[in-house]
């Protein structure tokens, strides 16, 4: 298990010659599928950003990520920060703010979202928009 907060700031290297691509700025999440889809990488002092699909990573470790050389990503989804998002139920009730999230780096599946009001299982996630993370009111789907 890895936490979003531990991934942010990690160096991203290319395999073999281990050139530094940049550092992780953020992770892009598809809340509906409960997966991390892309890594946003800050490159250099000009703060240019590269986007790499999670599936294009060759390896993920506790102190670095290895990016396989790849062509341009086919489609880059809009990025919304999960960490710091307000949490709302599908009925519009406030449920705190996202502090962090735990995910499995091998599968990119989010396991739990840590909020100011406790832990949410990933099965309750419905969507992540500009204003909030929307969750199911109930206990989520099994699995």
pLDDT in tens, 86-133: 999 999 999 999 999 999 999 999 999 999 999 999 999 999 988 899
Q: What's residue 109's pLDDT?
A: 96
pLDDT in tens, 48-91: 788 888 988 888 888 999 887 655 555 777 888 899 999 999 99
Q: What's residue 44's pLDDT?
A: 73
> Which pair of tokens denotes residue 117?
């009001």
């Amino acid at each position: 298990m890895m936490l979003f907060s531990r991934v942010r700031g990690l160096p991203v290297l290319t395999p073999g010659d281990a050139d530094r691509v940049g550092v992780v700025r953020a992770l892009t999440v598809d809340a509906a599928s409960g997966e991390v889809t892309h890594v946003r990488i800050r490159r250099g002092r000009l703060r240019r950003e590269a986007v790499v699909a999670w599936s294009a990573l060759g390896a993920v470790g506790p102190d670095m990520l290895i990016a396989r050389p790849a062509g341009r990503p086919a489609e880059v989804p809009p990025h919304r920060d999960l960490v710091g998002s307000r949490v709302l139920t599908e009925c519009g009730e406030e449920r705190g703010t996202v502090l962090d999230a735990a995910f499995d780096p091998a599968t990119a599946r989010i396991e739990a979202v840590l909020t100011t009001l406790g832990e949410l299982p990933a099965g309750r996630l419905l969507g992540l928009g500009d204003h909030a993370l929307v969750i199911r009111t109930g206990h989520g789907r099994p699995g």
